[in-house]
Amino acid sequence: MKLVLSILFFTQVMLHAQLLRKDDPTLSRIDIKENLGNKVPLNLDFFNEKGLKVSLSTAFQNKKPVVLTLAYYECPMLCTFVLNGLSNSARELEWIPGKDYELLTISIDPDETADLAVAKRSVYEASLNKTDAEFAWNFWVGDKNAIDELADAAGFKYFYDENRDEFAHPAVVFVLTEDGHISRYLYGIEYSVKDLRLAILEAAEGKIGTIIDRVILFCHYYDPAGKKYVLFAMNVMRLGGIITVLVLGVFVSLLWMKEKKRNYE
C-alpha cells in the first residue's frame, strides 16, 4: 500500500512539474544539450583565486581528466547541493584531485570576484580532506563572454532571473578528457562514487587507476536513459570466458608438468 501511494505521489509531482514547465516559458531556458565528444574552447581566459588571468588550457596542462562544474558562489541553494554532492563523492575516491585528476569550478556570474572564489575554495578543499593535494580544487571567475562561450560549448543553458535576482541553471557535472573533449555528463545533486570513478576512468582512457579499475570499466557502460553506469552483461560473459580459459590453461599446464616429472622419475 505504501509503495502504491509513493508511486501515485511521485506521478503527481512529475505531472505538476510538467505543467509548471508549460505554464512558465522561462523554464525552457534551463536545459542541457549533450555535446559528447565536443571540445571546449581552451583558449578562453578566466581569473583564478588570486585574481590572475589564466587560460582554460592551464586546467589541462597536467594531462589529466578534468571534472568541471558551472555554478556561482553566492547561489542560495542549487549550486551548494551540486558542489556538496561532488565533494562527498570525491572524498570517497582513492584518487587525489590535483594529482590524478583535476577539479574545476567556474562561476557563471560575471560580477563575482576572486575573493568569493578563494572563500569557496577554502571550504571545499577542507571538505575533501585530501591534505597531500597541493591544488585540490580550483575556483575561477570570468567575464560574461568567456562564461557564455564555455557554457554554450558544454550545452549548459542558464539565464539570470531579474525578478528573483538569481541565476537559473541545471544541476550537472561535466567530465572532460585530458585534451578538453566532453566525455560524460553526470546529472543531479548526488553522484555515486562508482559513477564518478568510472566517468573519470573513462575520460582518462585507462591512463589512471589499476588493472582492476580497467576491468571494472570494461564490464560497465553508461546508460543514457538511467543516467548511470550499469553492468554490461555481454562483456561480463566475455570476461568470464577469458578467465575460464586462463584457469583451464593453468590447470592443464600443471597436470602436464606433473606428468612430465613423473615420466622422468
Q: Per this entry, what is the length of the chain?
A: 265
Q: Averaged over 29-42, what is the pLDDT?
A: 91
Residue with cell 575554495: 121
Number of structural domains the chain divides into: 1
Query: What is the Cα–Cα distance from 175 to 178, expressed in whole angstroms?
Result: 10
Q: Average the pLDDT over each of 35-44, 159-168, 196-205, 241-250 and give the range with the smallest value.
A: 241-250
What CATH number does residue 180 fall under?
3.40.30.10
Q: How far is CA 93 from CA 51, 87, 141, 193, 206, in A?
A: 30, 10, 27, 7, 16
Asked if the structure places residue 27 within a domain, the reply is yes
Query: What is the Cα–Cα distance from 232 to 237, expressed in whole angstroms?
Result: 9
- Tens digits of per-residue pLDDT, 112-134? 999 999 999 999 988 887 655 55
Q: How far is CA 66 from CA 105, 138, 205, 238, 257, in A?
A: 10, 11, 13, 31, 50
pLDDT recorded at residue 82: 95
pLDDT above 90 covers a percentage of the chain that reads 49
Kindly report the pTM of this predicted structure.
0.73
Asked if the structure places residue 132 within a domain, the reply is yes
Residue with cell 550499469: 230
Q: Which domain holds residue 199?
A: 22-209
The yes-or-no verdict on residue 83 having pLDDT over 60 is yes
Asked if the structure places residue 173 within a domain, the reply is yes
Asked if the structure places residue 5 within a domain, the reply is no
Q: How far is CA 80 from CA 181, 189, 263, in A?
A: 26, 9, 73
CB 154 within 8 A of CB 39: no
- Cα atoms in the 13 Å half-sphere on the side-chain side of 33: 11
- Tens digits of per-residue pLDDT, 177-227? 999 999 999 998 899 998 899 889 888 875 554 444 444 444 555 556 665
